[in-house]
Structure 1
């Protein structure tokens, strides 16, 4: 591989303009594809075959007008007073307009609903009055009949009148039964109405109204065009004196790909590159090539959004990874090329060697990240696998850019990649300068780490990571809702308005489906069963209200709307969903089914949580195999993998502390702490694993190279560490800067992912790879490189750093004719 990359680098250097033209053509092609084929991104996630999906399918089958997605439009008066009659009529007009839209199944007028509720209450009162009046009349009739029977008996005419009296008695008894049945129906209706009293569509003070919208398609299938049309129906011609907002099921929050904070992150990366490389050209090349690569990858990914359902976070994840990794991979090649130029190697030869050595390491490092991301498809979760695939596209593009475009640009730049002073020294053939940075940093006078200090470093690193990881024990996974949207967004305003005026549970109502016994139990009607189920549900803790939605035409399924006490992402609502599903069958009618947005998010989180241990085991196993091949050691892969696990859980603990507990929330803009994004831990495993292997490669390979060349094991640890620390430090700071730029995103999904990755890189690079690993390697001594002979024979020899390539070309090396003389300026 190293020799092949060497030839590729030389070829790209010789045909630099052609290579640059090809990449520009790819960039333009990606832009055209994006313009022509990009579709709408989604802000929701779905997983097939979840309990929620099964209930939705059953409800859709039994109820023709149900089973689709729902959303809420929130109207409020500007002055907090009750809606005027004119405002009510205006809102009702918008409701009628929205109901006629394509893709909309129904739109419920809140004022009509409240009027119906009042009418039903009035009818119940009238019914009770009629029943009482009927009972009084029956009692009077009974008294009259009893008197007539007594008189007939006294007159000796009872035998003659008995048939007539019995007929009248039967008529009274029949009327009494009808009244009792009517009374039971009224009591049943009153009970159901009382249990549903807290589910309202107009607030008690009359200042807020909820317009419920039902779509013909499921929530994830509702097109953006339909959503936009619904919003336009209520926004384009506003009702005077009112404000209107939309919940997150109607208004989508699509974060922008580029924001000010991300630009700041790139600027910080540029400053780091400038400090390390010393020239504007050197600092500009990695950023320029990373932007080219990430532009191609992101626009290609976006062009696929017209063919597949793609979450809004998916292309942003690719952008985040492609930008950070692209800068780092370019830095590895540029840094190696600069060292070689200062050793007197010609530009063309140095470009080839840098591609064959550092480029070989980049390809290997990129493959580890690529494999880990593609492994997300093994979870069986579609949207997560798509995220991994798009991230893999960004990584693959970054690798290709590094081994083709970077060599071409380095060839054109020539020795200007060096500072003026370095070029002057090179032109003067200063032997002292030709010793190179690596030799100066790893000279014979290397001072070893003391064993005591190594023990202190191990203890401090493990203790620090353990403490930071502790909050991960309280990890709760969930999906974003309106409370996690930016404070100035319509979704957040709608969420807060509903919570303030109707209770938090109104933001996450559940749809509960109950089978109806067929036939019903003795003496029980379908309506009796409906009431019994409603009462069982209402008696549960954390339930505020229960409203019957309807009974299917075949009388086999009853559906209820259940309002929890707390919001959709709360722990109590999650417990309530589990409680409902675990209830004993009522009247042997089967278990209850639960659906709704809150239930669906809980199912997604649980499935992702179940998939995490398996995926983590796969990644850990992959880590051991890769490191075993690279370092040909038993201990090194073990300690490196343990380090990765420590940094992963520490990063996860940091996320829990800030985004779930709310620590430092004000500093990072976390206004409403809640569950951690359900797919974040799985993403973090895949991405952090790849990056951790990168840093282990650049730190550990130098140690192995020094040891193989005869240096004592503990001396080799120090020399290898010094050889790789500068580039790993710069690479980690760049990664942290780029990922950190996403922390201040208005979208909580993006913010939490950026924070997790930035924290994970910080901890893994500086605490694990540069503190813990060198100390453990020192303590292990020669045992760090022990490998059973039988295993040594069967393992392939992977020359990741291209050492054999350097030795092979050292004897053939000639002054490259393309080498430019030192020139002034930088």
Structure 2
């Protein structure tokens, strides 16, 4: 692999202008395609085939527009008045009529309709249910804007008017000021690492080209298939982080080769062959982890994984072709000016200059038992909250938004459970009669505040029963009520009963993801073992790396539970409200952190393996490899942390918890697992760390360290191997 990649790097160097133009053409073409072909994303997270999802589809068929997305326009009378006064009643009825005429609206109820009133007992608070033709998550921004404008105009009547519900949920955004701060921090880290701001800017620019192409491709895909609104944000977050890091690894090796006296074409080829091999292997781990989300069997999760994986593939291709082309234009200017005249004095493979990291690894490996135990104890302690993790699909609205105020008004007027009603669909001959007969028993269940009279369809073959819990949508008691209803309803004399509604959908998705979590964790751990055995031709080194990854995941999710569920340090992350984690968080974090953790393992341990393969004693090989690779891994980890942390203050609950868990996981994995636990454990194992049973020695050699390049005479004479022309 190293020889093939070195040839690719040499070719990219020789044809650097066409390579740059091709990538720019792809970027521009993606932009044109995104503008002309893009469709709408969806906020709907459901699993086809589950009871709640199937029942929602059936409601749409049996009751027409009832199955569409809904919004609740909440009205409250001024202090000392009621909604029933003539002036207020006229305003309420007039608003209901206006809402019914809005674009995309199928119906809008009148809170004061005598046949179906929707006001509290004091007549101070009421609501209009606005039902759209579109399914949940598919209401367009233009339709949302029209609704918000009507609500804002209605405030002129003196009533307090707010709106909430699934129909007005906004998709996450990309490119806000917080994300920009993360990119600026990453640029500063690169500038310090390279010693030159211009070099840092070029590294960042190549990464932005890759992530731009990836996100634009996803945007184009929305015109042909339904994608979650979270998909492009996750792809951008992950693609930007790895794109910067992969370029960093290749550029760093290129600079080392220049310092060792190599000319530019040879340095490009060797850097692409050695660091590029590690980039391909590391990128492959991320892609496998993301595509592996398909085994969970949840379509929207599979789409997220495949889209993000495609962005990673683009980032790898950019690192292997565009970065060498740009380095060809830069030449020796990639080095700081003071290093250019004395480049021959810096060995490409020599030991790094003594410094903090050299003293660090010497201390860790000298006190290997103590540091190993401290690292495990620290990560285990942080992971403790993970045991109490709760998940939900219900997102808390942004603080001080109209959605939050609408929920507060409804909770004050009708109770907490009114914001998360549960719908029971009865189908079959005599469905309305069966629903009426069971409503009394349903009302006797724990946590039930109200059961509304059954609503039959036009031909009497179906009926809807609405159950209002006493607790809120994310309360565990509401989840238990869903289970109690399903236990009560089977065997209804030929009438099929299904529990549905957004609360039930959330419960079902959360349960499915929780059940899939251990299966997926076992899958990625197994893949990690296989891949690392191939890379390092060792059993114990992969075992140490994988156990470290498990500790990383536990600590990352434990810290996330402590902040987002328990409320610790909530102000630091600009958290609006505490509560269960978004259901997507654990499984996505495991998938993404798996790839990133293996990145660090490969880049760090491959240098140790390289030194050991050249005959260095085991302990000294660990220290030498650490001194060579640790500065780059530290820079890469700080960059990834900055990018992920930039998404935390943005305010969208779906992205916030995922970004926080990834940022925390990067810190734990890079600075505790890879910088402490791994060198301490390998030092404790000594030469046994690189042992491979005889019955496994038939495994292929991936040559991540580029040993084939070291053995090849073409390293000295680049003509045959790299085929490069001299500058």
Name the SS of the counterpart of 1:299 in structure 2.
helix
Instruction: Pick from 175, 189, 209 the counterpart of residue 126 of structure 2.
Output: 209
Give the Cα–Cα distance (whole angstroms) in 1 for the partners of residues 208 and 134 of structure 2. 39
Q: Indicate conservation of the 8 Å contact 1:511/1:595, yes or no.
A: yes
Change (3 A) 1:102 1:434: closer
| 2:601 alignment partner, one of 683, 696, 720 | 696
Cα pair 1:346 1:816 within 8 Å, conserved:
no
The answer to whether structure 1 residue 491 and structure 2 residue 403 are counterparts is yes
Partner residue in 2 for 1:45: 45
Q: Which residue of 2 aligns with 1:309?
A: 226
Match of 1:325 in 2: 242
**Gapped runs of 5+ residues in structure 1?**
118-199, 521-525, 821-826
2:74–2:128: 8 Å Cα contact kept in structure 1?
yes
SS in structure 2 at match of 1:396: helix
CA pair 78-747 structure 1, distance change in 2 beyond 3 A:
farther
Deviation at 1:282, TM superposition (A): 2.0
Q: Secondary structure at the match of 2:43?
A: coil
Contact 1:87 1:239 (8 Å CA) reproduced: no
Q: Is the 8 A contact 1:449 1:778 kept in 2?
A: no
Aligned to 1:685: 590
The separation in 1 between residues aligned to 2:45 and 2:569, in whole angstroms, is: 28
Distance 1:775 1:374 in 2: 33
Query: Counterpart in 2 of 1:540?
Result: 445
Moved more, 317-326 or 798-807: 798-807
**Counterpart position of 2:628:** 723
* Structure 1: distance between partners of 2:333 and 2:400: 49
Q: 1:297 aligns with which of 214, 218, 230?
A: 214
Mapped pair 1:381 → 2:381:
no
Aligned to 1:91: 92
TM-score by length of 2: 0.93
Tell whether 2:205 aligns with 1:288: yes
Alignment match, 1:256 = 173
RMSD: 2.6
CA distance in 1, matches of 2:278, 2:724: 27
Task: Find the aligned partners of 1:404 and 1:393 in 2 and give their Cα distance.
Answer: 17
Contact conserved, 1:366 with 1:396, CA < 8 A, in 2? Answer: yes
Q: Match of 1:24?
A: 24
Per the alignment, do residues 463 and 422 of structure 1 end up closer, same or farther by CA in structure 2, a change over 3 Å counting? same
Provide structure 2 residue ranges, at least 5 long, that are not aligned to the other structure. Answer: none
Q: Which residue is 1:145 aligned to? A: none
State the distance in 1 between where 2:168 and 2:336 align. Answer: 53
8 Å CA contact retained: 1:449, 1:718: no
- The answer to whether the 8 A contact 2:564-2:657 is kept is yes
Deviations 1:129-155 (CA, angstroms, capped at 9, x unpaired): xxxxxxxxxxxxxxxxxxxxxxxxxxx
| Cα distance in structure 2, aligned partners of 1:9 and 1:813 | 12
1:463 matched to 2:377? The reply is: yes
How far the C-alpha of 1:609 sits from its partner, in A, is 1.6
Q: Is the 8 A contact 1:281 1:416 kept in 2?
A: no
The residue that corresponds to 1:712 in the other structure is 617
Aligned to 1:8: 8
Distance across 2 between alignment mates of 1:55 and 1:103: 23
Give the deviation of 1:586 after TM superposition.
7.0
Structure 2 residue matching 1:594: 3-state secondary structure = strand
Distance in 2 separating the partners of 1:61 and 1:37: 31
Q: How does 1:175-194 map to 2 (within 5 A)?
A: none
The answer for the alignment partner of 1:181 in structure 2 is none
1:70 CA displacement: 2.6
Number of aligned positions between the proteins: 720
Equivalent residue number for residue 68 of structure 2? 68
> What is the match of residue 636 of structure 1?
541
Contact 1:543 1:564 in 2 (8 A): yes
Larger Rg: 1
Change (3 A) 1:806 1:613: same
Distance in 1 of aligned mates of 2:490 and 2:630: 64
SS at the partner of 1:665? coil
TM-aligned CA deviation for residue 773 of structure 1? 0.9
Q: 1:605 aligns with which of 510, 514, 519?
A: 510
Scaled by the length of structure 1, the TM-score of the pair is 0.82
Structure 1 residue 773 corresponds to structure 2 residue 681: no
State the Cα deviation string for residues 154-183 of structure 1 (Å, max 9, x = none).
Answer: xxxxxxxxxxxxxxxxxxxxxxxxxxxxxx
- Checking the alignment, whether the CA contact within 8 Å between 1:281 and 1:417 is kept in structure 2 is no
Are residue 270 (structure 1) and residue 196 (structure 2) matched?
A: no
Q: Is the 8 A contact 2:365 2:679 kept in 1?
A: no
- Whether the aligned pair in 2 keeps the contact of 1:69 and 1:216 (CA below 8 Å) is yes
Q: Which moved more, 1:271-280 or 1:621-630?
A: 271-280
Q: Does 1:795 align with 2:699?
A: yes
Correspondence for 1:739: 644
Look up the match of 1:477.
391
Say if 1:261 and 1:744, in contact at 8 Å, map to a contact too. yes
CA contact under 8 A between 1:111 and 1:202: conserved in structure 2? yes
3-state DSSP class of the match of 2:575?
A: coil
